[in-house]
Amino acid sequence: MYEQDLIPDIIRRSVESVLRNEYNVARSTLSSIDCERLVSDRKAAFKRRRARLARATILEQSASSGPVSHKSHAGIPVRAVVPSGRYRRTEPSAAIKRATSTRDRFICRYLHCQKRTIHLPVLCALSALFPDIIPYRCGWTPVEDFILYWTYSTSIEHYISFPYAGTSAPENLITVCYACNHNKNMISAGNLGWEVAPIPQQDWDGLDSYLPALKEAVARQSIFRIGRPQGVSEVRSEAPEPSELHRNLGSAAQPEGKVAPG
């Protein structure tokens, strides 16, 4: 679990500074995030994943010849250890995804994490305002340059993934951080030893309530950049945001070309 994780609070203070037109304060606050630590944490998580899967291989071979336990966690049954073979992937609607995030308070439901996530359009708005600090590119590569997206973006997870007969029914969907979603992917949560925590009671909305005002701030800065007389500096670094970034200000898109969430 991310105990005393201050990064969501840092991002919130930055957003609030933007809305007060204190762009230099927002820039300084965002710059205080230790992105190198996030990259290191990501590498460590994948190392633990490899070790856990190596141990689970023996269990999977054993389970293939006998029944598999379906003990539940937080009302969600642990998936079968052995994949069900062929499967059909169906994507939940945007409305169902939004309802899931709202139900879960935009907090990662995996018991080992329980991280407060950031609604993706909020991060995109900050990228539009501060592209040198929080850069954006479709695909989020290289990972080191887009680590805030990889670590803190809100994502919707199929707890029982499709290869294990999972569906996109609302009861099989949980909110997770993108780091956990990408780390687990199509693997059995049981093989990783991951459990689901109860629905959190924290008052957190992924900073979604700030989004309308943030969009206005992005629009104002875009106009200012285009109409700025030559030689007049602006409050953020130059770099026109890509059209993909503008589209994501109103959506919850995730990196194209990456492994699909489980």
Q: pLDDT-derived band of residue 2, with 50, 70 and 90 as boundaries?
A: very low
Asked whether residue 11 is assigned to any structural domain, the reply reads yes
Does residue 262 fall inside a structural domain? Answer: no
Question: What is the pLDDT at residue 231?
Answer: 36
- State the pTM of this model: 0.77
Say if residues 107 and 116 touch (Cβ distance below 8 Å).
yes
For residues 117 and 56, give the distance between their C-alpha atoms in angstroms, rounded to a whole number.
29
With respect to residue 150, please indicate whether it lies within any of the assigned structural domains: yes
Q: What's the pLDDT band for 239 if we cut at 50, 70, 90?
A: very low
Does 34 fall in a domain? yes
pLDDT (0 to 100) of residue 8? 97
Enter the tokens of residue 94. 């945007």
- In tens, the pLDDT along 150-205 reads 999 999 999 888 887 888 999 999 999 999 998 888 787 888 889 999 999 999 99
Mapping DSSP onto H, E and C, the string for the chain reads CCCCCCHHHHHHHHHHHHHCCCHHHHHHHHHCCCHHHHHHHHHHHHHHHHHHHHHHHHHHHHHCCCCCCCCEECCEECCCCCCCCCCCCCCCCHHHHHHHHHHCCCECCECCCCCECECHHHHHHHHHHCCCCCCCCCCCCCHHHHHHHHHHEEEEEECCCHHHCCCCCHHHEEEEEHHHHHHHCCCCHHHHCCCECCCCCCCCCCCHHHHHHHHHHHHHHHHHHHHCCCCCCCCCCCCCCCHHHHHHCCCCCCCCCCCCCC
pLDDT in tens, 116-162: 999 999 999 999 999 999 999 988 989 999 999 999 999 999 988 88
Determine the pLDDT at residue 100: 97
pLDDT recorded at residue 46: 84
Q: Report whether pLDDT(1) > 90.
A: no
| Helices 7-19 and 120-129, packing angle to 10 deg | 60
* pLDDT higher than threshold 60 for residue 226: no
pLDDT of residue 233: 35
Looking at residue 53, its pLDDT comes to 75
Q: What's residue 148's pLDDT? A: 95
Residue 259 lies in a domain: no
Domain carrying residue 99: 7-248
pLDDT: is 132 or 61 the higher one?
132
Q: What is the pLDDT of residue 251?
A: 58
Residue 258 lies inside a defined structural domain of this protein: no
As for how many domains the chain has, the answer is: 1
Q: Per-residue b/e over 138-176, b at no fewer than 16 CB within 10 Å?
A: eebeebebbbbbbbbbbbbbbbbbbbbebbbeeebbbbb
Radius of gyration of the chain (CA): 20
